[in-house]
């Protein structure tokens, strides 16, 4: 937690900067299916780890998951409306299909960091193309849950 001073000299909590962590389709199954590919940590485990790391970096982390493309688009708009400091986005398979997400990232000024647990380039060819990468600030992939913590550290430096 960051601490500041108000006009009377009392110590107050300085509002942490908001970072939205958005997760796309099927990531709700993390830690429950296919541990060989995606590991044993659940999304809740990753969220708890990011919340704790965020506190040490002065970032308020809000973690969400949706299986619906349009809901992810709405949340990107919300990031802009709320003046979020950054978005971490694991768009799941929408990474490889969604021009709607590409347009939404382009439509907001909030920096978006693309995150993947696996390294899509080391997998099937259809995962090599990311439609969102050209609009993202950067991409961190292949480090399992650590991809998220690396991305959060990068967000703190923006």
Q: How far is the CB of 92 from ligand CA2 (least distance, A)?
A: 4
Catalytic position from the list 38, 85, 94, 148: 38
Task: Please count the residues of this chain forming the interface with ligand CA2, following the rule CB under 6 A.
Answer: 16
Catalytic position from the list 77, 85, 96, 116: 116
Does the protein bind ligand CA2 through residue 149 (CB under 6 A)? Answer: no
Helix axis angle, 146-157 to 43-57, nearest 10°? 30
Does the protein bind ligand CA2 through residue 82 (CB under 6 A)? Answer: no
Does the protein bind ligand CA2 through residue 65 (CB under 6 A)? Answer: no
C-alpha closest to that of 54 among 152, 154, 157, 158: 152
Concerning whether 128 is annotated as a catalytic residue, the answer is: no
Number of residues written out for the chain: 158
Question: How distant, in Å, are the alpha carbons of 10, 22, 60, 86, 104 from that of 107?
Answer: 40, 17, 23, 14, 5
Answer for which of 46, 72, 73, 92 binds ligand CA2 (CB under 6 A) is 92
From the list 49-57, 79-87, 113-121, 150-158, the region that binds ligand CA2 by CB under 6 A is 113-121
Q: What are phi and psi of 49, to 5 degrees?
A: -60, -40
C-alpha closest to that of 66 among 98, 18, 107: 98
The C-alpha atoms of residue 120 and residue 122 are separated, in whole angstroms, by 5
Other beta carbons within 10 Å of 121: 12
* x-marked contacts with ligand CA2 along 16-55 as a string, rule CB under 6 A: ----------xx-xx--xx---x-----------------
- Contact residues for ligand CA2 (CB under 6 A)? 26-27, 29-30, 33-34, 38, 90, 92-93, 95, 116-118, 120, 127
Active site residues: 38, 116
């Amino acid at each position: 937690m960051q601490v500041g001073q108000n006009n009377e000299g009392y110590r107050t909590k300085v509002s942490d900067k908001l970072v939205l962590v958005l997760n796309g389709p099927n990531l709700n199954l993390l830690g429950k299916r296919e541990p060989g590919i995606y590991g044993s940590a659940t999304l809740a485990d990753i969220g708890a780890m990011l919340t704790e790391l965020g506190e040490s970096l002065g970032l308020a982390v809000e973690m969400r998951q949706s299986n619906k493309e349009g809901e992810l688009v709405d949340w990107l708009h919300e990031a802009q409306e709320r003046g979020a400091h950054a978005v971490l986005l694991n768009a799941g398979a929408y990474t490889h299909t969604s021009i709607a997400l590409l347009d939404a990232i382009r439509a907001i000024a909030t920096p978006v960091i693309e995150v993947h647990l696996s390294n899509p380039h080391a997998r099937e060819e259809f995962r090599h193309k990311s439609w969102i990468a050209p609009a993202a600030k950067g991409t961190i992939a292949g480090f399992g849950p650590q991809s998220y913590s690396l991305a959060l550290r990068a967000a703190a430096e923006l």
